[in-house]
Structures are given as structure tokens and as C-alpha cells.
């Protein structure tokens, strides 16, 4: 008779326990794991199979329906933005001091970071919004460029990623922006919309951040100068969007652009707290909104995130991007750039 070793029996028991545990996580009464796995996986370009291996399309669609964000349906109150009305003393909160106390010899911007719930947030404060412009890769529709290259070629000092882009076959060459792109008051790109928001995010001729569902022509007629298509809108006129569950995209590295009532613009980049090649971790929409409220964002919108999130200052990568290259960079169709 064949004799089973004690070591093999223990190994089989352990594997059985792990299998039962995994089944309970995936199909048990607690929905947190299911919501987390489905929304996080389905928000990626190349890891949707992680959800589809375990769950049916019907289940996935139901989870996405229960975890979503509802944007506010109202126009931006541009008169509420009073550019240059900030003061640099008598700080009421730690966050106000972080934003308003300028670095010696630098009236253009300041950048700082903090850690919260295992994630690292990088906040770049731009004091004069007229110094911000949308800059394009040199060969739109052919190949994108890293944000570092776009910033350098445009003579900028600070840059973050802007548009999403078609990631055909996962090659991520950044050539074709999703949605529309407006540059200097003209539509320079018409692309396919993605599920990541269909709103225009950009600055008008008065250097005020505008978040709108207008068509490009309508937006330009109202004064839009530079804009990209993405979303969702997180805060409009100081009021936050409604987040159900985890918002439908789970936790990811993120890039957000915001403007305060005093005109100061905030670039916020959030690192992931997971693996570069697997679950990347990061912030949910709810977590992002809470940070934005603390820093008095009056209007704010989500830009492309995940492996695209990056912050460049003085030709250096400041955050820890999770693109697949050696430096974590990806190629992009455009970037928001701060110039002297």
C-alpha cells in the first residue's frame, strides 16, 4: 500500500485552508473584497482578467453599478474665483501654512509631500495660474513623449500628466489622446471618449479652472483656452461629488488638478502603496476628496492615473511612478506645465 508522507498531508491541508479562505473572500457575505477586486482590476488597462477569472460579467457589471461616483450637475461659478487674493500670514490651519507660506526666493510654486494611510501625497502649489499651460508631445497621433520631455521641450519647470490616451494592445505609446484636446483656444485633437469621464478640464482666458460638459466649441466660445477630456469632477463650487462604495475604480495612483477661491492651483499626485506590476494601491475618490477639502479646493477634477501619474520638477521625477519602464515613466500626448 502506498504510504502518504506526513509532510505531504500537512501541505495538502494548508492548501485546502487557503482555497477555502480564498473562496470565502471571493464569494462570502462580505462584499468588500469583491468590490475592491472588481473595481480595481476593471480600472486598469491590462489586469481586467483578475476580475473576469473569478466573476461573471453580470456580477462585474453589478459591482460597478453599486460602486460609482455621481458628479454635481451645475456650472462653475467663475465669479467666486478671485485670483491673487491669498495672504501669506495668520495661517488658520497646518494645511494653510503648507500652501501659503512660500519658499524663500520662489514666488512661482512650492511642492511638499505627506504620508497618510500608507500612501504618499505630493502637492504642488502654483501661485499664479497664468503660468500654467497645456503642452503637447511633438508628434501627436504618432508617438507620445514622457512628461519630463514635454516639460523640458516647452521650457517649463513643473509638469504633471494630463490627457488619458488610447493604450492599444497595452503598448502605451501615448500617441492618441482620449477625448478632445484644446490648445490656445483651438481644438487640436478629436479622440475617442473613454469611460473615465467625458468632461472638459482646463483654463479659460482669465486663468480660471473650468470643469464643463460643454462641447469643445461651446467651451471655446465661453473663453476656454487649454483643456483635456477626463474626469470625474470631484468638487464643483466647493461642493463634493457623491461617491457610492469605492467610486467604481478602487484605489489607484492618481493625478488631480484643483483651484482654490484665491486662484491658487494645486497639482496633486498620489503614489500607490502596492506592487509596480500587480495591485498598485493608492487612493480612492473619497480619500482624494477629503484631502482636497482640507486644502480648500473649490473646483477639482481627476486626471489620468494609475501608471500614468507623474510629477516632474526641474527635470526630475519627484513621485514614484508605476509605469513598466525602468524609471516608471510612460509616454503621454500632453502635460500641464508651469513656466517661469
Q: Do residues 166 and 178 make contact, with C-beta atoms less than 8 angstroms apart?
A: yes
pLDDT tens figures, 73-106: 999 999 999 999 998 888 999 999 999 999 999 9
Domain contains 1 = no
88-122: burial string, b at 16+ Cβ within 10 Å, e else: eeeeeeebbebbbeeeeeeebbbbeeeeeeebbbb
Residue 170 is predicted with a pLDDT of 55
Q: What is the DSSP letter of 308?
A: G
Average pLDDT rounded to a whole number, residues 186-193: 89
- Cell 486662484 identifies what position? 263
Q: Classify residue 303: in a domain, yes or no.
A: yes
DSSP per residue, 87-118: -SSS-SSHHHHHHHSPPTT-SSEEEEEEEETT
The reply to whether 231 falls in a domain is yes
Is this structure's pTM higher than 0.75?
yes
**Predicted pLDDT at 187:** 97
Please give the pLDDT value at position 128. Answer: 98
Residue at grid coordinates 456580477: 59
Pair (219, 282) in one structural domain: yes
| Residues 135 and 34 both lie in one domain | no
Higher pLDDT, 153 or 35: 153
Domain boundary among 41, 66, 91: 66
Q: Predicted confidence band at 284 (pLDDT cuts at 50, 70, 90)?
A: very high
Cα–Cα dist 291/113, whole Å: 12
> What pLDDT is attached to residue 23?
46
CB 332 within 8 A of CB 146: yes
Which residue segment(s) compose the domain that 193 sits in? 70-338
pLDDT at 1 over 50: no
pLDDT at 248: 81
Q: Are residues 89 and 237 in the same domain?
A: yes
**Computed over its alpha carbons, how large is the radius of gyration of the chain?**
22
Q: Give the mean pLDDT of the chain.
A: 87
Q: Are 197 and 279 in a shared domain?
A: yes
Statement to judge: residues 34 and 77 lie in one domain: no
13 and 114: one domain?
Answer: no
Q: Give a yes or no: residue 129 inside a domain.
A: yes
Same domain, 164 and 240: yes
323 vs 303 pLDDT, higher one: 303
The confidence band for 7, taking pLDDT boundaries of 50, 70 and 90, is low
Q: Which of 51, 66, 81 is the last residue of a domain?
A: 66
Last residue of a domain, one of 39, 66, 93: 66
Mean pLDDT lowest among 128-137, 251-260, 277-286 = 277-286
Which is more confident, 107 or 196? 107
Cell of residue 326, nine digits: 525602468
Residue written as cell 470643469? 211
**Are residues 136 and 231 located together in one domain of the fold?**
yes
Which pLDDT tens digit goes with each residue over 16-58? 445 444 444 455 555 666 666 666 666 655 567 777 777 788 8
Rounded mean pLDDT, 111-138 = 96
The per-residue pLDDT for range 307-317, each reduced to its tens digit, is 999 999 999 99
* Same domain? 78 vs 110: yes
State whether 101 and 230 are in the same domain.
yes
Same domain? 276 vs 226: yes
Q: State whether 112 and 160 are in the same domain.
A: yes
Q: Within its chain, how far is the Cα of 316 from the centroid? A: 20
Question: In total, how many domains does the chain have?
Answer: 2
Mean pLDDT of 147-162: 98
CB 251 within 8 A of CB 207: no
Amino acid at each position: 500500500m502506498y504510504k502518504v508522507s506526513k509532510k505531504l498531508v500537512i501541505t495538502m491541508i494548508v492548501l485546502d485552508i487557503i482555497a477555502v479562505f480564498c473562496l470565502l473572500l471571493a464569494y462570502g457575505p462580505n462584499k468588500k473584497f469583491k468590490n475592491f477586486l472588481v473595481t480595481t482590476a476593471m480600472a486598469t488597462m491590462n489586469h481586467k482578467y483578475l476580475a473576469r477569472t473569478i466573476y461573471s460579467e453580470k456580477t462585474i457589471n453589478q459591482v460597478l453599478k453599486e460602486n460609482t461616483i455621481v458628479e454635481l450637475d451645475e456650472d462653475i461659478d467663475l465669479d467666486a474665483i478671485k485670483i491673487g487674493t491669498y495672504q501669506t500670514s495668520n495661517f488658520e490651519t497646518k494645511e494653510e501654512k503648507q500652501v501659503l507660506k512660500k519658499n524663500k526666493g520662489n514666488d512661482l510654486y512650492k511642492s511638499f509631500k505627506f504620508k497618510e494611510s500608507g500612501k504618499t501625497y505630493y502637492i504642488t502649489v502654483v501661485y499664479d495660474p497664468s503660468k500654467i499651460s497645456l503642452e503637447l508631445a511633438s508628434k501627436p497621433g504618432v508617438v507620445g513623449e514622457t512628461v519630463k520631455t514635454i516639460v523640458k521641450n516647452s521650457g517649463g519647470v513643473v509638469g504633471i500628466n494630463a490627457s488619458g490616451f488610447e493604450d492599444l494592445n497595452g503598448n502605451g505609446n501615448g500617441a492618441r489622446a482620449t477625448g478632445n484636446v484644446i490648445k490656445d483656444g483651438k481644438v487640436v485633437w478629436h479622440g475617442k471618449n473613454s469611460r473615465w469621464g467625458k468632461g472638459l478640464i482646463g483654463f479659460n482666458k482669465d486663468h480660471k479652472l473650468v470643469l464643463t460638459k460643454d462641447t469643445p466649441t461651446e467651451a471655446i466660445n465661453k473663453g476656454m483656452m487649454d483643456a483635456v477630456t477626463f474626469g470625474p469632477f470631484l468638487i464643483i463650487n466647493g461642493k463634493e461629488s457623491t461617491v457610492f462604495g469605492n467610486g467604481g475604480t478602487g484605489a489607484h495612483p492618481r493625478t488631480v488638478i484643483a483651484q482654490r477661491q484665491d486662484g491658487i492651483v494645486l497639482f496633486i499626485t498620489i503614489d500607490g502603496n502596492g506592487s509596480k506590476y500587480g495591485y498598485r494601491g493608492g487612493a480612492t475618490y473619497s480619500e482624494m476628496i477629503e484631502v482636497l477639502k482640507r486644502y480648500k479646493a473649490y473646483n477639482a477634477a481627476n486626471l489620468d492615473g494609475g501608471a500614468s501619474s507623474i510629477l516632474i520638477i526641474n527635470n526630475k521625477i519627484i513621485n514614484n511612478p508605476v509605469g513598466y519602464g525602468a524609471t516608471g515613466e510612460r509616454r503621454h500626448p500632453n502635460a500641464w506645465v508651469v513656466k517661469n
